[in-house]
Amino acid sequence: MLEVRLICIGKLKEAYWRDAVAEYEKRLKPLCRFQIIELPEARLPNDPSEAQISAALAQEGEAILAKAAGVLFPLCIEGKETDSPGLAKKLENAMQFPGAVSFVIGSSHGLHETVKQAGERLSMSPMTFPHQLARVMLCEQIYRGFQIINGTKYHK
């Protein structure tokens, strides 16, 4: 069974985001070994300099890479967009090789370049979404991907 890790910087603060993610976690349990790993956001002052942001991203990047397993998909604005069947194919391919896949959602400042270079960059959209919403959307797309792989009627 494929291990799917969703590595996120920061926690979900509002109950409605946690409830939405919990619903997809429940749905994914029979399909894969799904795990959400929440890492702390590096502390920054109110008006951080570029150097401070870079140092924070580097710190977060080290923590992310330490928790990643298998094929790595960092989500970033310069990543490649894919449709739901395309994501399903990526999941299916990941099942063939190391048996694990890690998706990464960074902080509001993004991801360090080492994380982006360590895997295949993906973009959910050219639009910008709150990180909490992106997490819910990604969980749904992972669930949808498994439904596509299994040939169910969920994806029409």
Contacts of 143 (CB under 8 A, 6+ apart): 24, 27, 28, 31, 154
Query: In whole numbers, what is the pLDDT of the chain averaged over residues?
Result: 95
Assigned domain for 117 exists? yes
Instruction: Name the residue among 21, 32, 42 with its Cα closest to residue 106.
Output: 42
Q: Is the pLDDT of residue 17 over 70?
A: yes
Assigned domain for 156 exists? no
* Structural domain containing residue 88: 3-149
Split at pLDDT 50, 70, 90, the class of 99 is: confident
What is the sign, positive or negative, of the torsion defined by CA atoms of 130, 131, 135, 137? Answer: positive
The predicted structure's pLDDT at residue 67: 98
Which pLDDT tens digit goes with each residue over 66-96? 999 999 999 999 999 999 999 999 999 998 8
The predicted structure's pLDDT at residue 98: 65
Assigned domain for 13 exists? yes
Assigned domain for 141 exists? yes
* CATH code, domain carrying 79: 3.40.1280.10
The number of domains in the chain is 1
Assigned domain for 54 exists? yes
Assigned domain for 154 exists? no
The pair phi, psi for residue 37, each rounded to 5°, is -115, 115
Calculate what percentage of the chain has a pLDDT beyond 70: 99
Tokens of 52: 């401070």
Assigned domain for 28 exists? yes
Assigned domain for 110 exists? yes
